[in-house]
Structure 1
Amino acid sequence: MINHLQDTITLNNGLQMPGMGLGVFQVANDATAEMVKNAIEVGYRSIDTAAIYGNEAGVGEGIKQALAPTGLRREDLFITSKVWNNGLSYEETVAAYEESLQKMGLDYLDLYLIHWPGKDKYAESWKALEDLYEQGKIKAIGVCNFTATHLANLLSFARIKPVVNQVEFHPRLQQVELRSFCDKHQIQLEAWAPLMQGGLLEDETISKIATKYGKSNSQVILRWDVQNGVITIPKSVRRERMMQNADIFDFSLTDEEMAIINAMNLEHRVGPNPDEYDFAL
């Protein structure tokens, strides 16, 4: 379990990944640079973007603006992006990776993910990721939104095991079966929409726990993530909210409080179901 914003979790290939980062989903490109710069200045070292977000250039600019003033180097950061579903052939995946690098002005990515499994379209794309990894162009490779069934299929032919499966995860969608599968195969779970896209910020059950510690609902939920060993990437465009989200390392939830939140699970999604959507745009 991490005990500081910059603490890391060891992935199955030995790479160290920060246990908490910043997501930039649904942030306009022209607003992303300032957001990323602020996050790095606050202390975040992991930034998560994707080709489909349309803000990779803004992420790159924010990194550029932050590095010199903070005295950090590129290798002090952990940058993730994802290949989109309309280009999952081998050649398209390689081209998409190179385009992401070009937009961000980077020489490599720390983690590159297949964004959605689609209708079993990921075999060629995964081979491309494996080759890019073996060529030293990516530090680690993984997937997003894969169910246990998708992962079992991937593992049946993969030369290299994914290090991460990034999925919707929050107290109302706890992915119990999937977490068990990932634990068994040493695949790190990472949460997107950890705050249920704001849907739990007024929840009374969590509010009671938050009041006890003088914390916000979002801080309690992110602390629950951390104590579950799940990497979390909350999004906030405001510097003060980024700082608040990171202020979760001065308290711990009791076993009873963890159990109360665990009991909130309804397997309720706010995003799409990977088994039902193709996303071939």
Structure 2
Amino acid sequence: MLSPNLLIALCSLAAVLVGKTSAFQNSIGMCKQNAFLPQTADSGRTSLSVSSTAMNDSINDTMNEYNFMKKYQESLLLGPPHDQSTLTTTSQHEIPPPPITITAIPEPATSTTIGSQQQQKQQVHSITSMQELISVMNGQRNLHDDQLTVIKFYADYCKLCQRAGIQMKRLVTEFPTVDFTKIEQNTLTAPAADTLRALGVTKFPWVQIYRHGNCVASFSTGPSHMFMKRVRDTVTMCLERSPEAWQEFEQEFASNMAENAATRQKLMAYLDSSHPQSNMGA
């Protein structure tokens, strides 16, 4: 047998959990009515027994409804459960992202040609024969009439010449419009010493500069640490010389240039007479 106060407390708890204000008021009213009914010896027990059974049913219904609402709210917050098979199937049917294509900017069509031309200009040309030497002196390698040609005379045994060769490569980069060449003494015709003296070369390393087929500079570079400065200063002076200044220079040193040109003609005549087939193939 449940006491009226206990029934009222249970009804209050059920109503608060569910949040049903109307159910709570109905339960309170029913409990009060059953609690204060006049009791008789026989009918009092029967009325309380019936009221207790009805109250238990109401509490069970209320709790069932509360549990249902709680599960429903959890399902809204959490969403449907996902097992491994569901995740795998979903990932297989996802639309893959579009591929990212990186387009390289094409280089100009002339970049390769320009690069190869610069590489060719930035090399010291090696003269391999006496015929080629005279041809270079006459300006046959020049790309234009005013181009300067620098010729370095050297010997393999000369340590100063080896150091000067490294500095000459730097000058090629510094003066890309100038034709830098070199010739080793063993390339000259025998006797090589007489040929060198005839051209004005007395020691190694020695540099000559030609313009329009005329020798406009001929000097010893001295120690290796002076090679760069002397060659650079002379080349710069020639490049900066105006046409009027060149005309005055050629008039002042006409005899020297004529003597050098006559020596080259004698050497060419000697080569023609001693090596006619070699000259024809050159």
Common fold: TM-score over 0.5: no
Which structure ranks higher in relative contact order (CA pairs < 8 Å, sequence separation ≥ 6)?
A: 1
Larger proportion of helix: 2
Greater Rg by CA: 2
User: Taking structure 1 as the reference length, what is the TM-score of the superposition?
Assistant: 0.23
Larger proportion of strand: 1
